[in-house]
Amino acid sequence: MSGNNDGHGFDHIERVYELSMKLAAEEKADKQIVGLAALLHDVDDYKLFGDDNAENLTNARRIIEDNGVDAETAAKACDIISNMGYSKALKGIRPQTLEGQIVSDADMLDAIGANGIIRTLAYALERCRSGNHQIFDENIWPELKLTAEEYKKPDRQSDNFINHFFEKLLKLKNMMFTSAGRKEAEVRHKLMAGFLYEFFRENGCPKWIGYLSNYENSESL
């Protein structure tokens, strides 16, 4: 992951690991399983390595085998990775173990707040360079009820930097499992909402300010 510049680099892995270990200590979870899953959770991400890797965990299993991890720990870590992620959550697939819920919370926390904004922009800029993405179009509104298949489509019209907040990031605070995760998510969520408000104010988009306000009110119900 060291050469990745679109928000999925090793800096992201390190933050998720540290957050995971902190939550594991608070929740009295198995730190070895949590740590292993946190370190390997993105090495088969479909956005980076394709659907086959994501389904089979090709890289994760190779790394685990190369490092002599025992079979029980390996199976538990792979089960966590197989059941976490936003696109899987759209299908109703979520981690069932405490350790899995902790890594899921940590990964989603790093998708929001200040680091989340930076990561999302980095990903958007990488795609803009390839010519199939944009930062914002005030005439294209978010699609709030995307299926997993629709969400993953690379050519979806609504898929831009600003819309991504509404289509995913602002939803994540309500998807936390742990009490510590929920508390931290509230702080990071408020920062993102403030960023969006200022972005719309500076760019003279009163309709989008109203949209943000209505969105926040509906999400809080």
Domain membership of residue 5 (yes or no) is no
Domain assignment of residue 186, yes or no: yes
Predicted local confidence at residue 10, as pLDDT? 84
Is pLDDT at 104 greater than 60 in this prediction? yes
Amino acid at 147: T
> What pLDDT shows up at residue 115?
95
**Residue 49: CB partners within 8 Å, gap ≥ 6?**
43, 58, 59
- Sign of the four-CA dihedral 5, 8, 14, 18: positive
Tell me, yes or no, whether 173 lies in a domain: yes
C-alpha neighbours within 13 Å on the C-beta side of residue 149: 0
Rounded to a whole number of angstroms, the CA Rg of the chain reads 18
pLDDT score for 72 = 96
pLDDT tens-place string over residues 75-90: 999 999 999 999 999 9
Encoding tokens for residue 217? 């009110």
What's the pLDDT score for residue 30? 97
Mean pLDDT of 53-80: 94
> What is the tally of structural domains in the chain?
1
**Range of 208's domain?**
10-219
| End-to-end CA gap in the chain | 39
Residue 3 included in any domain: no
Considering the domain boundaries, does residue 206 fall inside one? yes
CB 156 within 8 A of CB 142: no
In a domain? residue 1? no
Residue 4 in any domain: the answer is no
Residue 156 lies in a domain: yes
CATH of the domain at 53: 1.10.3210.50
pLDDT reported for residue 219: 77
